[in-house]
Structure 1
Amino acid sequence: MFSIGIVFTILFISLGSILLRGKGIRMLSVYNMLPKSRKATICKEALCQFMGKIFFGFAFGSMLWIIGGAINSPTVIVLGLIIIAFLAIASTIYVLTTNRFNSNK
């Protein structure tokens, strides 16, 4: 579990930093799920920056995996999994149901 946590932490930090710069819109499944008519109205840079911050939250959750493995605490590992699952579900719902990322404001 320790090495998996390190790999995921590095991956999430790397993706988060790419997205914070406004790049990598094609990597986001929440963007790819949208119909073409809705994609045309999305401010891609704002969406990338928001999702970059979410990926740093994912990195925090995976760091909890590392800490939980180091201190042999399944509670901390499960807490990290809960944080990641909550962020994934909440951010997807937020992006799909709000108008925050409209480029024609």
Structure 2
Amino acid sequence: MAGSLVITAVFIILGLFLSSGKGSFLIAGFNTLPKEDKQKYNSVALCKFMGKIMLAFALSMIVEILIGIYDIAWLSILNVILIIIICVFAIYNVMGSRFKK
């Protein structure tokens, strides 16, 4: 459980850092783009979006920790559905042209 708390804390810290609009070097795929391709994207908006996604995953991890403590089976199924929704939402938004200038 201590490991889960540490990972959750890291997700929260990274989520808050990205939500400030900084840290585009932490976004996989974006940091490997050539400089001229990076200029085609709104990196601040992308960072803020990814920060919100990180915070959503941190919330999911907190729910999972609470599931482990209180042994609530139905909440585990709800949490899996939440994770799937977050992933689909993130992929849909990142793959589109939402962050292009």
Superposition TM-score, scaled by structure 1 size: 0.76
Mapped contact 1:57–1:87 kept (Cα < 8 A): yes
**In 1, Cα distance between equivalents of 2:3 and 2:80:** 13
Residue 77 of structure 1 pairs with residue 76 of structure 2 = yes
SS in 1 for 2:30: helix
Distance 1:39 1:85, change over 3 A: farther
- For residue 11 of structure 1, give the secondary structure of its aligned residue in structure 2: helix
Aligned to 1:101: 99
Which piece of structure 1 moves more, 36-45 or 64-73?
36-45
TM-score, normalised via structure 2 length: 0.78
Q: Distance in 1 between matches of 2:28 and 2:86?
A: 14
The residue aligned with 1:91 is: 90
The CA distance in 1 between the partners of 2:29 and 2:73, in whole Å, is 30
- RMSD, aligned α-carbons: 2.3
Shift of 1:40: 2.8
Equivalent pair of 1:22/1:45 in contact (CA under 8 Å): yes
In the TM superposition, 1:1-105 aligns within 5 A as: 2-29=1-28, 31-32=30-31, 36=34, 38-97=37-96, 99-103=97-101
CA deviation map 1:6-50 (0-9, x unaligned): 1232111111111011111121125357x6464331010110011
Identity across matched positions, percent? 30
Say if 1:58 and 1:83, in contact at 8 Å, map to a contact too. Answer: no
Paired positions, count: 100
